[in-house]
Structure 1
């Protein structure tokens, strides 16, 4: 089922257009990866899809609800969680406090929040072990777990993750890939920007190729991975 639909999206900063006529969809459950070279517009795309910048044309719909014109908190309330590049955890706050910040807009009983917190700890046991530790004192992989867990605490329909593996050790990436596959299997839709194309193909069931602000290919990851032009551009194959 298509959870997030993007149609003819054009966006940028001031007079500078970064994205032009971008269209694709994200299925839920499922994982869609966005790949592209530096400067292709990947981060701008996620910023537009979470309401941080306002498109100049096109539409964004989540589960049939038109999100055009909403403020960023409206995107969160509708069901989009954004895990930004660099993780952006709150220094001086514990892991658990950082996780609970993801639920700041939810008006539900404390017992429900506790169940959701325990579910995050079940996905990432390391966070449970470090729940009282200052979040920014953890390793990069553990901080990424915390940032993703914070997003999960918002109970989103679709989660956006910018640069999942950037700067992380391979063993940490393996843990994150396994965890994201599990939460997708449980019903979540994920849109993941990933600079390591091999990781993107391993993680995702569908891939969007972004080049200079335009979508040049979309489709099942196996088909995109087998495309000779994609392999030459992103895997260095002749």
Structure 2
């Protein structure tokens, strides 16, 4: 359960959400994408109030949610999985192809495997596909739950650089990340959650220099 949580996701910047298991990180993202309805409070993107709205309303407002575990559609190709990200858009085929080309430019491995069953790829490639599917909705804000979970370091490094490029193009990104070192490298802002509340928030530099955070999450004195 979340209590008195207040945070913002800046356009063109990356915000990391960190905290121990059960701190409320996934619940936060599910609330911010309409999968869970808050009992009270406000969720806004621009001038649109979304608290209590349906998940499709969140998508149409410009919020994309990349869930933990990727949740790709088995038995469907990489390209068909990507196109599912644009299901809510009444887009012409030329516009869809332009967006696919952008995703393939960001993730060249997906272009190589576009006709392959998406769930037969490696974990890193599946995460690329899940992020690409989110991008196909043309989001203003994209939220990613457990970016690096179960992935090889080389895949994580590639995804970190890809997300930095995506955010530089104007997309606000929120990442739930269990590897705090990755989170601090990736993000401009960091939100620390504890038992459903925001216990600390600040720049990645401020959070990285906090002795309590370093002791709890980085094993430092």
Higher relative contact order at CA 8 Å, sep ≥6: structure 1 or structure 2? 2
CA distance in 2, matches of 1:130, 1:136: 11
Please say if 1:53 is aligned against 2:36: yes
Cα deviation, 1:116-167, whole Å, max 9, x if unaligned, reads 0000000000000000000000000000000000000000100010000000
Please say if 1:201 is aligned against 2:184: yes
Cα deviation, 1:39-84, whole Å, max 9, x if unaligned, reads 0000000000000010011110001211112101110011100000
Give 3-state SS (helix, strand or coil) of 1:44's partner: helix
Match in the other structure for 2:64: 81
**Which of 57, 66, 77 is the aligned partner of 1:94?**
77
- CA RMSD in angstroms comes to 0.6
How much does 1:88 deviate? 0.2
- Moved segments of 4+, more than 2 Å: none
CA distance in 1, matches of 2:189, 2:124: 24
TM-score by length of 1: 0.92
How much does 1:100 deviate? 0.2
- The unaligned stretches of length 5 or more in structure 1 are 1-17
Alignment of 1:147-158 (within 5 A): 147-158=130-141
Match in the other structure for 2:86: 103
* Bigger strand fraction: 1
Task: Give the count of matched residue pairs.
Answer: 221
Alignment of 1:1-238 (within 5 A): 18-238=1-221
